[in-house]
Structure 1
Amino acid sequence: MSAVLDAALRPGGLRAVYQPIVHLEDQRVVAHEGLMRHAHGSMTPLQLLDLARVAGRLGELETQAARMLVRSFDFERGGRLLVNLSAHAILQDAFRPQQIIEGLQSAGRDLSRFVIEITERDIVEDVGRLADALGYLRAAGIRIALDDFGNGHSNFELWHELGPEYVKIDRYLIHEIAESPGRLSIVRALVQVAESLGTDLIAEGVERMQDLAIIQDLGIRYAQGYLLGRPSERATDAVPDDLRLASREKLPVWPRSGRRSAFPKVTAAHLLIEAPSITDDASNFDAEQLFRQHPDLQALPVVDGSGHPLGLINRRVFNERMAVPFARELLGRKPCIKLMHASPIMADVAQSIDAMSEILLGEDQRYLSDGFIITRDGRYAGVGTGEALVRRVTELRIEAARYANPLTLLPGNIPIAEHIARLIDAHQPFTAAYCDLNHFKPYNDQYGYFRGDRMIRLVASTLLRHAEPQWDFVGHVGGDDFVVLFQSDDWERRCREMVGEFNAACRALFDDDDLARGVLEGEDRAGRYTTFPLTTLTIGATQVTPHRFCTAEEVASQAAAAKRLAKRLSVGLHVLDAAEATTG
């Protein structure tokens, strides 16, 4: 290993590659990160750095790499150069600030053309000392960047105390951000922190157009990744052609997590109560003794010889059976399985609370009195109480309902208003479509809420099927009211297809007699017998141009007016024109 390190430190032992960093607003290459590679072996840069660290030569290796990167870089084409230095080497006095300055000056360039990326794979215990060392570099005109934020040991203390000009958001947070509500929430928060601290963000690991669209929408100014350019031996001033063609004509729809956002990591294991069990060959007297020893135990799990659950003995039912005259004499010595409930409600420790909510919807309500068994690899692990499950699921649904409709899981009023505001602030043209069912109340009154819910879910699935998920936002206001915010150019065709498909599919939700008559029979609001047409879908749409509206409320009001006019005209789709909007 020592020989490998010696070879890497000799002239020509390292080679340089450079990866472009793009300014997203004008799609221009403004900088490159300089990266070292082992010139004569297969050892990765991280392996080489670890080897140098163990040998106490990390500062020597990083200084050699910095000089090599500076000598090979084309400053005329490449913009600024970002050079990696580890906080560990700086704090271990492996090199002095003046050494760094002299190494960078060897390129004969103004030091403002350089950015030092502080990398750290260990916790920095003396942040103040690191900030003092970097102060010498800053005084010479060198800028500072904090690398890999969101992974490793880069943290808010380093950010706050070092005051870097740039913070690079780690690939972990950027890759697939277009499908991850969690990553999106974290990066949104980092954007706010950066704005308050006056820091520019650089998104690392950008490999997909949909992720790039989200990053641009968040206002992150710089990006780096394979989509924008791979590491190369030569600096470049060009971005890929397909990236230049992809202009910001539309605003991406942010990913939504629905009801799972409240407790994404809460599982049955978090409800587990360690409780005794009893084997299937034990007697009722043995069960009685365990109930006496554990007065808070509501149900006693019964397991076989391998620990697999067989059933639950409910405390109340057991005591009532044993209290019957002569029951102790007749049942006491018999196997406890005679008084157990077979087929207990069970959940694996890894099962999420969201998935367990299905227990509350089932016909078997024994969980309220018996609780349920929690298993690990199919064997008994503990019990959970119905009270704890109901409480956690209720909290989840209350929290989620603020942002998503609990029936369809589509975004609710708050996200709808937020997305309209984003479109208005970005001066983005779009079409607001208000979708509503005709004669849904008579249907709900006649068939009941269960089939009514099926029809509501049919509306949701139909709208989603015909919307472009990356650009068209589908929200559920409540009841049978939905909103679609279109950026698709062919929004009118999509609306007509939504109406046509729903009106055909919903016929399967009516009884044959009603379909044959073509009407529903019932009472109107005054209590008089009357007939109602079969339920259909109506969409009212209004086109929103830049600067036409100032608030989400104004847009919602116009879309609702378009919907009312569509229902009055008894048409599937009506687009509110300027004259109607004025008179309305």
Structure 2
Amino acid sequence: MFVLPNNNSLPLDELQLYSKEKLDLGLEVFLRDNLLQASFQPIFDFNTAKVLGFEGLAPIELIRAARVSSTVVEGEYLGRHLVLESFAKQGLEGKIFLNVSLDVLLQSEAKTGETLKYLAEFGLSPSDVVIKLSRSESGADVGLLTQACAHYRGMGFQLAICNLNQGFSGLSLWSEVKPEYVQLDKDFIDGIHHDKVKLEIARSIYEVASQSNAKVIADGVNNSLDLMAIRDLGVDLGQGSCLAEAAVTPVQILPEAVIKSLLRVEAPRENVLQTRATVSKLLRYVTPVSPSDTNEEVFRLFEQNPDLHAVPVVQATKPLGLISRGAMIDSYARPYRRELFGDKSCVTMMDDASIIVDHNTTVQDLTDLILRSDPRHLSAGFIVSNADAYLGMGNGHDLLRLISNLQINAARYANPLTLLPGNTPICEQIDLLIQSGTSFVTCYFDLDNFKPFNDVYGFQKGDEVIQLTARLISKACGMFDFVGHIGGDDFIVLFQSADWEQRCYDFLDEVSNAFPQVYDEEDRLRGGIEAEDRKGVKHFYPILTISIASVKVSPGMFPSHHEVSEACISAKKYSKKFTGNSMFIERRLPFIVSSKQQSEQVH
């Protein structure tokens, strides 16, 4: 009896004796005895810490057997069948990413409509499936591949591409296909936290993906440092052993430690107030209609209320969607639409893709959501809920007005020279991090010898140095790191990046190259300037440097920004004892504790 190989122990010449008929016979036995099983690797959304979907992996035994018996096409179709069958039987939620070989896609024996047949067999829809186009060994023609991809998209599938490390061919396919998902392959991800080249490649891919409205999936996220590095780039999706291993029955929940590291407080660079305002400020109650109401009744409602721009449809207390005035009038303007649909349920005119947000959603998050969505949502408005129960509506006009007011208020607290958040937003952000139980590192940046430089070179040159410092600090920070300007030559950064220490050292390297360039050639050559001190005595002051004082803040260590500030001032005194560009990391035992900790220590 033919036995399907599950390892490489057989000699190659013996493996090559397998024919398609023998493969079919062997697979029949394995399938009958349920010995071939697909596995699934979860793909997680870092914003929600929940599963987006699963990459379906055909059994490795099947792949090996198909290759050595020259039945790659048949083997791949059987693999798809196994993946979809198991996905459906387990009732896995989210999307299934189905691997499709580019080489198989263009084979003459490839079967048209076979995947759709499998979906119908297992009660799945093309909208559940993302076709993941995998590597081409033969360097297939991009034009033919584009046609094949258009065929899949025409059937309702979304597309994902990977293997961008193949260079021009992968990038050419990307530009032609315009996939919904782009995979950052494990070659780019492994060790990205300490590899600047990989980091810049990943950053470039992410930026191009953002411009083309594609989502980036990081593959091979195998340790927490790499996870934090890609998260700081802005990548929202990922898979790998650090998150969850591939398995026949996959886990659907992230490890608690990973969830804790992901759910960091996003640090606004310009507008702290906007991130704290919620959509409850935009709430207006609009009497909803129910699915039992007809389109004609809703139309009369619009006629009787000229200022009504949209009507929410609510079943019991659950919001279903919106009917916008413009969409209904546009529909009724078409021949026979009113006659055909007037007596039907109003859900036939409802936009079931309407934006529904919780009342605690921040204005910043709502703005980001609307910007990523269809422009119609800005005019139609959005539904506000509480625990999935209808509360009311908000509209785009009120949202824009609130954002404008928040920006005006925020500008009052921004430093006018650098436009970075000033003292009030800094204190608010520290308190927000403390209240959320987030670990972070407070770094105090202070220029050395700045006053004599300002005296000799003038205020304009001094302002240029301050602005240069602000740019270099901002450049060194990740998306979750908050940069503030206390005033003068003092800055503060609230780091959540796991590699904060390396970021600081990289910044000091940049400063050591940049600061000498602001001096005249003569002063640069002699390494500094002569200037009078406060008593009128002349001294030689070396070229500008910067001192960093770092204080690690753990949950429960400090009750508020006041105590964090005191700790930073203490650390700053030590940092100024070092000459040159330097960083002092506070490693002494915390000398300020919360009232809760004091109580515990007493007892």
Q: TM bucket by the smaller chain?
A: 0.3 to 0.5
Which protein has the larger Cα radius of gyration, Structure 1 or Structure 2? 1
Q: Give the alignment's TM-score, normalised by structure 2.
A: 0.46
Q: Give the alignment's TM-score, normalised by structure 1.
A: 0.47
